[in-house]
Amino acid sequence: MTDSLLSCNGVNKSYRSEDADIAVIRGVSLDVRRGEFTVLMGSSGSGKSTLLYLLSGLEAVSSGDVWLDGHRISASSEKKLSLLRRRSMGFVFQAFNLVPNLSLLENVMVAGYLSTGSKKCVKDKSMQLLCKFGLERICHRLPAQVSGGEQQRAATARALVNEPLILFADEPTGALNSSAGQNVLEHFAGLAEQNQSIFMVTHDLRAACAGDRVIFMRDGRIHGEFRFVDEVRSLKDREESLFGWLTEQGW
């Protein structure tokens, strides 16, 4: 975990409203290393989700550059961006967006078909992921027949089936109860330990404690960065240290 996988330099984003440009992201520069679990925090309206969309190419920057694994995505065509997202990015959002009339297994497989693997390979990989997330016994159920936490784990399996370089997660536990949310976060932390890069937006203090570092945004700018001390292992200690730092930042 020594080199940069994702980076942006001097990124700005503005939206046109009536006769004025509204600046949402203001001169943001950051790096995400390979195998790093980065958490982005900030108050509502600080620009967290917008920055995630810019870094993943889901929205275009107004100015500045975004690079992923040597590809300048801020200057890529939509066709190239689509291929890059398919090969190199996975997405998990607060809304699970599972296809309601497909089973959990079929939802994961459909995403896998976007890769070049054979149908058998895709099915085997999908089942491996569902087993990893403890969903093998319910893999043939429809999304409406399982809990919210189980749907979120299935959505995570779907995001990982093509072995992306980075997993983008936008408030992935926002719609879950405490137990289901903690389950998802434990899976994310396990993925990071296996060298999976994760970039997660959250407003939740406990969720942020699953990461390696926390970036705090205010008014479209990066206001500070916090890294957990390796020796601090307990959730309580991590929460206390992060809360103290966030308070200093005016959270």
Show the domain range for 43.
4-93+166-248
The CATH number linked to 85 is 3.40.50.300
For residue 232, pLDDT over 70 is answered with: no
d(C-alpha 153, C-alpha 137), whole Å: 13
Q: How many helices (H) and strands (E) does the chain have?
A: 8, 10
- What is the per-residue pLDDT across 139-176, written as a single tens digit (0 to 9) for each? 999 999 999 889 988 999 999 999 899 999 999 888 78
pLDDT of residue 247: 94
The identity of residue 225, as a single letter, is: E
Average pLDDT over residues 231-251: 87
For residue 214, pLDDT over 70 is answered with: yes
* 102 exposure class (CB count in 10 Å sphere: 0-12, 13-18, 19+): middle
Q: Report the share of the chain in percent with pLDDT over 70.
A: 98
Residue 138 located in a structural domain: no
Residue 159 located in a structural domain: no
For residue 2, pLDDT over 90 is answered with: no
How do strand 71-72 and strand 221-227 relate by DSSP bridges? unpaired
Question: Do you know the residue count of the chain?
Answer: 251
d(C-alpha 157, C-alpha 159), whole Å: 5
Residue 127 located in a structural domain: no
pLDDT of residue 1: 43
pLDDT of residue 215: 97
**Dihedral sign for Cα atoms in the order 127, 130, 135, 141:** negative
The chain-wide mean pLDDT, for the chain, equals 91
CA 172 to chain centre: 8
Residue 37 located in a structural domain: yes
DSSP letters for 57-112? TSS--SEEEEEETTEEGGG--HHHHHHHHHHHEEEEESS----TTS-HHHHHHHHH
Strands (E), 100-246: 166-170, 197-201, 213-218, 221-227
Q: Report the share of the chain in percent with pLDDT over 90.
A: 65
Place of tokens 């307990």: 234
Residue 241 located in a structural domain: yes
Residue 65 located in a structural domain: yes
Residue 110 located in a structural domain: no
Query: In total, how many domains does the chain have?
Result: 1
- What is the per-residue pLDDT across 25-64, written as a single tens digit (0 to 9) for each? 999 999 999 999 999 999 888 999 999 999 999 999 999 9
d(C-alpha 184, C-alpha 176), whole Å: 9
Average pLDDT over residues 193-220: 94
User: How many of the other CB atoms lie within 10 Å of CB of 11?
Assistant: 23
For residue 20, pLDDT over 90 is answered with: no
Residue 33 located in a structural domain: yes
Query: Residue 20 forms beta bridges with which residues?
Result: 17
- What is the per-residue pLDDT across 103-114, written as a single tens digit (0 to 9) for each? 999 999 999 888
User: Quick one: pLDDT band at residue 231, thresholds 50, 70, 90?
Assistant: low
Query: Residue 39 forms beta bridges with which residues?
Result: 200, 214
Cα angle 197, 34, 26; round to 5: 80
User: Quick one: pLDDT band at residue 251, thresholds 50, 70, 90?
Assistant: confident
pLDDT of residue 116: 64
For residue 96, pLDDT over 60 is answered with: yes
Of 9 and 230, which is predicted with more confidence? 9
- pTM (predicted TM-score): 0.92
